[in-house]
Amino acid sequence: MIIGNAATQRGLQQHNLYSDLVVVGGGLSGTCCAITAARAGIKVVLVQDRPVLGGNASSEVRLWVLGATSHMGNNNRWAREGGVIDEILVENLYRNPEGNALIFDTILLEKVHLESNITLLLNTSVFEIEKKENNISAVKGYCSQNQTHYILHAPLFCDASGDGVVAFQSGAAFRMGAESAEEFGEKFAPTAEYGELLGHSIYFYSKDTGKPVRFIPPSFALKDITQIPRYRQFNTKDFGPWLWWLEYGGRLDTIQDSEKIKWELWKVVYGVWDHIKNSGQFPEAENLTLEWVGHIPGKRESRRFEGDYMLIQQDIIEQREHYDAVSFGGWSIDLHPADGVFSEKPGCNQWHSKGVYQIPYRCLYSKNVDNLFLAGRLISSSHVAFGSSRVMATCAHVGQVVGMAAKLCIQKELLPRTLSAHDHIGILQQELLTTGHHIPTLALSVGLDLLKLASIKTSSDLVLHELPPNGPMLPMVHAVAQMLPLKKGKLPSITAWVEAVQDTVLTVQFRTSSKPQNHTPDVVLSEQKISLKKGKQEINLNFEREMPEAAYAFVCFLKNEDISLQYSNHRVTGLISVFNKTNPAVSNYGKQDPKDDIGVEGFEFWTPQRRPNGLNIAMKISGGIDLFGAENLSNGVQRPTMQPNAWVADFADVNPSISLHWNEKKTIQSIELFFDTDFDHPLESVLLTHPETVIPFCVRNYKILDEGGDLIQEIRDNYQTINRIEFAEAIECSALTFEFEHPDELIPAAVFQLIVK
C-alpha cells in the first residue's frame, strides 16, 4: 500500500532519456524517419502526442496515404514511394485491403514496436526545448497517462510534428502564409483574396444499422445548410476522405486558432449530417447512423521552416535536377481557397507536372539551428511547392531521408548541413537506395560487387515477341496506348487485332516523352491512318521513324467508338496500357490546359486502369523487345523507369532460375531480392478497397541452392517488395542458384535487383 502523508507540495516523476536522435511527431514522416534510423543502427526516441501513430493517416483522422501515384490519375508511372513506406503500404494491402483505419494503426504500431532501437513515447506532448548556443540540447515532453515528465537529450533532433513545435521554439527561421509571385518567380502564387493558407478538415463515417435510426443534432450544429455553397453535392455515399472539402480555417492562425477551427468543423459536420438525416431529401438515409466523427482535425498547413534550399514551383514543373536529390514528389500542386467549405470557388486548384520531381536534401534541415532536421509537411518549400510536397507518402519518404542522414551524421560526426557537401551526399544517396528508397535518375552502385564478379546464367530471358490475343475485345471509348520499353533506333513493326462495326478509319500514333524519364506521351514520332472494313481484322503498323533514345514508347490508338481492340490476358513487369481518360478526383480532365499564364504546362493525361482491368493490348512486335535480361539485376534501378530494369523469365520457362558462379568460394552474409509489387499501383491506406491482397506480379515462392544443389533457404507465400535473408553464420560457396515459381501462369517471374553481400 502507498500512503501519501500530507505535504506542502509534490512533483511528478521525471525521466531523462539519452539517444542519438529524437524524432518529435509520430505522423508518417516521423514514423518512417524513426524506423529508418533505427534499422540503420542508431538509438531513437520517437515522441508522439497522440495514442496512436500515423498522424493524419491514423484512425484519429483517417486520410488515405497518397503520393506521387496520385490515385493513378496522372502520368507518373511506377512512382509509388520506396523503402519503409512501401513496406508499410504493401503490408497494409496484405492485411487490410478493405482499408480499415484501425488495422492500419496496428501495422504502424507493430513496425515501430519491432525495432529495438526505438523508444516510443505515446501520449507524450513535447512542449519545451533546451538550447546550447546554436544547438538544441534537449526537448521536454509530458505524458498525462503516466504523469511523467521526459527530458530527451540527443545530439540530433528531427521536427516531424507538422506545426513545428521544436523548430519554432528553437528559433528556426520559418514562414506561414504564401510568398508573393515576385519572390521566387512563382506564377501560380495565390492572391490574398484566394487565400494564403490551407485549412483543417474533420471527417465522419456513417453505417447502415439495418433499421431506422433518428438523429437529433447537437445545439452547435450548422442550422442553415445553404451557408455551404456546394451543399447540393452531399449524398449518402460520400463520407471520410471523399469529403476532404469540408475545410475551414485558412483565414485564421492554423496553430493558435486550431481549437476554434475544430469547433467550426464539428458545427459543419453535424450540420451536414442533420441535413442528410432530417431534410427529407435523402430517404435512403433512414437506416444510417454516424459511426465516427474525428475528435481532432486533420491539419494541412501551418509553419514551413527554411532550409539551405527552398523548393519552389519551378522545381516541380520543370523537374529541375539537384546534386543533392534524396527524395521525390509527384502529387499535383494542390492549393485550396482559404474560405474552404464556405467558398464559392472550387474546393481545390490542382496542376500537375509532366513527371515526378526531385526533392533536395538541403530542404530537410534548418538553415539556422545546427542540429535540427525537418521532415513532413514543414520542410523548406514555398507555399506553392508545399501544395505538392505535403502529401503523406512524400512526407514519409522525406522522413526516411532524415533517418538515414541522422545515422550518417552520428557515424561521421557531422551536422545536418555538413552532410550536404558534395563529398558526403553521394554516400547518403547510396545508403538510401540500398533500402529500396527511390531517387529519380539515380541508381544504386554500392553493394553490387559480388554480383558483378559473378558470371550470371538464367534459365531464360523474356524477349517480348507477342502479347497473345487471349483477352477480351473492348470498344475504344477512349484513346488507348500500349507502353513499350524500346531502345534507341528504328521503331518495331506492330501487328494488332481490331473489329470494326462499320467501315471506318483508325489512327495510330507512335509517341514518346520529351524527357526520357517521363511517361507523358507529348512527342508524336509518327502517325498512320488505316482504313478498316466492317468486321474482325489484323492490322500492321510500320513506322519509319526512330526512337531518339532509350525510353518508353506509346503505341496510341486514337478514340474511335466504331472499333474494338483485342487485349491480352498476359501481364509483364514493366508493361502497361494507358488511356486518355479523366479522373476528376485529381483534376484530370483528359488534358491539362492552363488558360492563364500560371507557370504550368499543357499536356494530355494517359493513365492506367486499376486491376482487374488494365490489360495489355494484344500485339506482335517484330524482332521482339529484349530488354528483360539479367544485366538488369545489377543496374541499380529497382523499378521501371526509362526501361523495365527487371530480369523477367520467359512465359514458357517451366523452371525459371538465376545462377551466380564465382571462380572461388565467397563468404556470404546476406542476400536481398527486390520483387515487383507494381510501383504503379497506389496503395490508399483507408476506405478505398483494393481488389487483391498480393500484387499479382510479385514472386511468392522461391528457393536458394548452393553449388551442390543443397537448399540454403526456401521462401513461400512472399508478398513483400524486398526480401532480406540474413544468415546467422556467413555461408561459403562458389555458386548460388535461385529457383522461382512464376507468380501466375500468365505473369512471368521477375526480379529487379539482387544484392549478395
Ligand X SMILES: Cc1cc2nc3c(=O)[nH]c(=O)nc-3n(C[C@H](O)[C@H](O)[C@H](O)COP(=O)(O)OP(=O)(O)OC[C@H]3O[C@@H](n4cnc5c(N)ncnc54)[C@H](O)[C@@H]3O)c2cc1C
- Which one of 23, 34, 35, 63 is in contact with ligand X (CB under 6 A)? 63
User: 205 vs 662, which CB is nearer to ligand X?
Assistant: 205
User: 70 vs 577, which CB is nearer to ligand X?
Assistant: 70
When asked if residue 299 is in the footprint of ligand X (CB under 6 A), the reply is yes
x/- letters, 195..214, toward ligand X (CB under 6 A): -----xx-------------
Strands, E assignment, 29-165? 44-47, 118-121, 124-132, 135-143, 148-153, 156-159
Of 107, 94, 285, nearest to 204 by C-alpha is: 285
When asked if residue 685 is in the footprint of ligand X (CB under 6 A), the reply is no
Nearest-approach distance from CB 680 to ligand X, in angstroms: 17
User: 250 vs 360, which CB is nearer to ligand X?
Assistant: 250
Nearest-approach distance from CB 300 to ligand X, in angstroms: 4
Nearest-approach distance from CB 130 to ligand X, in angstroms: 15
Site size toward ligand X, by CB under 6 A:
38
Instruction: Please give the Cα distance from 757 to 442 (Å, whole number).
Output: 21
User: 686 vs 754, which CB is nearer to ligand X?
Assistant: 686
When asked if residue 359 is in the footprint of ligand X (CB under 6 A), the reply is no
- Which one of 43, 62, 367, 390 is in contact with ligand X (CB under 6 A)? 390
- Which one of 38, 66, 312, 450 is in contact with ligand X (CB under 6 A)? 66
Question: Among residue numbers 528 through 587, which ones bind ligand X (CB under 6 A)?
Answer: none
Nearest-approach distance from CB 577 to ligand X, in angstroms: 26
Nearest-approach distance from CB 373 to ligand X, in angstroms: 12
User: 200 vs 570, which CB is nearer to ligand X?
Assistant: 200
Tell me whether residue 730 is exposed, middle or buried, using C-beta atoms within 10 angstroms of its C-beta: 0 to 12, 13 to 18, 19 or more: exposed
Q: Which stretch binds ligand X (CB under 6 A): 292-300, 322-330, 357-365, 612-620?
A: 292-300
When asked if residue 160 is in the footprint of ligand X (CB under 6 A), the reply is yes
When asked if residue 391 is in the footprint of ligand X (CB under 6 A), the reply is yes
When asked if residue 376 is in the footprint of ligand X (CB under 6 A), the reply is yes
Nearest-approach distance from CB 60 to ligand X, in angstroms: 8
- Helix 101-113 to helix 84-95 angle, to the nearest 10 degrees? 130
Instruction: Please give the Cα distance from 179 to 415 (Å, whole number).
Output: 29
User: 121 vs 551, which CB is nearer to ligand X?
Assistant: 121
DSSP secondary-structure letter at 611? T
Instruction: Please give the Cα distance from 685 to 67 (Å, whole number).
Output: 11
- Which one of 19, 29, 429, 435 is in contact with ligand X (CB under 6 A)? 29
Rounded alpha-carbon distances, angstroms, from residue 360 to 125, 377, 402: 30, 15, 12
x/- letters, 37..56, toward ligand X (CB under 6 A): ----------xxxx----xx
What are the residues facing 288 on neighbouring strands?
208
Q: Which stretch binds ligand X (CB under 6 A): 160-168, 228-236, 543-551, 611-619?
A: 160-168
User: 261 vs 642, which CB is nearer to ligand X?
Assistant: 261
Nearest-approach distance from CB 240 to ligand X, in angstroms: 10
Nearest-approach distance from CB 47 to ligand X, in angstroms: 5
User: 40 vs 393, which CB is nearer to ligand X?
Assistant: 393
When asked if residue 64 is in the footprint of ligand X (CB under 6 A), the reply is yes
User: 228 vs 547, which CB is nearer to ligand X?
Assistant: 228
User: 27 vs 436, which CB is nearer to ligand X?
Assistant: 27
In this structure, what is the dihedral angle of CA atoms 649, 653, 654, 659, given to the nearest 10 degrees? -60
Instruction: Please give the Cα distance from 519 to 356 (Å, whole number).
Output: 10
DSSP per-residue letters across 51-68: SSSBGGGSTTT-PPP--T
Q: Which stretch binds ligand X (CB under 6 A): 159-167, 641-649, 705-713, 717-725?
A: 159-167
Phi, psi of 672 (to 5 degrees): -130, 135
Instruction: Please give the Cα distance from 428 to 402 (Å, whole number).
Output: 10
When asked if residue 292 is in the footprint of ligand X (CB under 6 A), the reply is no
* CA–CA–CA angle 118, 120, 123 (5° rounding): 170
Nearest-approach distance from CB 471 to ligand X, in angstroms: 33
In the sheet that holds 504-512, the strands lie side by side as: 523-532, 504-512, 551-557, 479-486, 576-580
User: 63 vs 541, which CB is nearer to ligand X?
Assistant: 63
End-to-end CA distance of the chain: 57
Contact 395, 381 (CB under 8 A): no
Nearest-approach distance from CB 166 to ligand X, in angstroms: 8
Question: Among residue numbers 9 through 28, which ones bind ligand X (CB under 6 A)?
Answer: 24-28
Phi, psi of 316 (to 5 degrees): -80, -50
Contact 152, 43 (CB under 8 A): no
When asked if residue 261 is in the footprint of ligand X (CB under 6 A), the reply is no
When asked if residue 111 is in the footprint of ligand X (CB under 6 A), the reply is no
CA atoms 577, 581, 584, 586: torsion sign: positive
When asked if residue 244 is in the footprint of ligand X (CB under 6 A), the reply is yes
When asked if residue 304 is in the footprint of ligand X (CB under 6 A), the reply is no
User: 108 vs 285, which CB is nearer to ligand X?
Assistant: 108
Position 365, amino acid: Y
Rounded alpha-carbon distances, angstroms, from residue 36 to 81, 378, 408, 672: 14, 19, 12, 17
Instruction: Please give the Cα distance from 395 to 123 (Å, whole number).
Output: 22
DSSP secondary-structure letter at 379? S
When asked if residue 735 is in the footprint of ligand X (CB under 6 A), the reply is no
When asked if residue 454 is in the footprint of ligand X (CB under 6 A), the reply is no
When asked if residue 392 is in the footprint of ligand X (CB under 6 A), the reply is yes
C-alpha cell at 412: 561521421
Alpha helices for 486-546 (secondary structure H):
none
Residue 657: helix, strand or coil by DSSP? strand
The conformational region for residue 23 under phi > 0 = left, psi -120 to 50 = alpha, else beta, is: beta
Nearest-approach distance from CB 301 to ligand X, in angstroms: 8
User: 448 vs 683, which CB is nearer to ligand X?
Assistant: 683
Contact 617, 473 (CB under 8 A): no
- Which one of 37, 42, 88, 165 is in contact with ligand X (CB under 6 A)? 165
Q: Which stretch binds ligand X (CB under 6 A): 390-398, 467-475, 540-548, 700-708?
A: 390-398
Nearest-approach distance from CB 89 to ligand X, in angstroms: 11
Position 471, amino acid: G
- The residues that touch ligand X, with contacts defined as CB under 6 A, are 24-30, 47-50, 55-56, 63-66, 125-126, 160-163, 165, 200-201, 241, 244, 298-300, 376-377, 390-393, 395
